[in-house]
Amino acid sequence: MTNEEKVFAVRETLCAYGIIKAKDKVYQFEYMDKEGFQKKDTIIEPEEIKTAEGWRREGREVLAAVEPVAIIPIYIKTGNTRGSYVQTKARYYTIDQTFQVK
């Protein structure tokens, strides 16, 4: 599972528990299950969560003394050699926990 997939899965879980808000985007799709029955499903896109560095790139700063909504273990590449990764914990924040830098 990639880091992006981990973050999206956590976003869905946080949204399901009401910790973060859902966006207005709703995706509806139809598919066939294993038994051949047609199913309908709906996905509500959760709001964006980013690290403090991710918000900085968008011109925002995380408020002081704010707890992250999620701490997700991710892998970071440490060198040019194949397989040189280290696991770390990334702290994620919502846009409500940031302010616009002037």
**Per-domain residue ranges of the chain:** 3-100
pTM: 0.73
**pLDDT 10s digits, 34-82:** 899 999 888 778 889 999 999 999 999 999 999 999 999 988 888 777 7
Quote the CA–CA distance of 90 and 54 in Å, as a whole number.
11
Q: If 0-12 CB within 10 Å is exposed, 13-18 middle and 19+ buried, where does residue 66 land?
A: middle
Q: What does the DSSP 8-state code read for residue 66? A: P
